[in-house]
Amino acid sequence: MGDNSPAAKCSYVRSNFQPPANGVQTVAFHDTVRAVPRVVLAYAPLSRASTLLSQRRGGAWYVYRCTGAGFRDGLYRAPIWLPDGEVPAEAAVPSPQELAEQARAQLHLPSPRIEANPAGDKLVSLPTWLWLDRSGWGRQQATAAVPGVSVTAVATPKSVSWSMGDGNTVSCSGPGTPFTARGDASAASPDCGHTYHRSSATAPGQQYPVGATIHWMVTWSGAGASGTFPDLTTSATAAFRVAEVQALGTGHR
- In one-letter notation, the amino acid at residue 121 is D
Q: What is the DSSP letter of 241?
A: -
Looking at residue 7, its pLDDT comes to: 45
- Please identify every stretch of the chain with a pLDDT value under 70, giving residue numbers as ranges: 1-9, 19-57, 66-77, 90-92, 147, 246-253
Q: Which pLDDT value is given to residue 22?
A: 54
Q: What is the pTM of this model?
A: 0.66
Neighbour-count burial of 240, counting CB atoms closer than 10 A to its CB (0-12 exposed, 13-18 middle, 19+ buried): buried
Q: How far apart are CA 124 and CA 241, in angstroms?
A: 10
User: What span, in angstroms and rounded, lies between the C-alpha atoms of 96 and 143?
Assistant: 11
**CA–CA distance, 3 with 106 (Å, rounded to integer):** 11
The confidence score (pLDDT) of residue 37 equals 41
- Position 1 scores a pLDDT of 35
Share of the chain above pLDDT 90, in %: 53
Nearest in space to 93 (alpha carbons), one of 150, 143, 146: 146
Q: How far apart are the first and last CA of the chain?
A: 48
157 forms beta bridges with: 216
| C-alpha span between 21 and 34 (Å, rounded) | 32
Q: Give the tens place of pLDDT for each residue, 182-238.
A: 999 999 999 999 999 999 999 999 999 999 999 999 999 999 999 999 999 999 999
Query: Which pLDDT belongs to residue 57?
Result: 63
3-state secondary structure of 204: helix
From CA 147, how far away is CA 90, in angstroms rounded?
Answer: 14
3-state percent helix, strand, coil for the chain, nearest multiple of 5:
10, 45, 45
Contact 40, 102 (CB under 8 A): yes
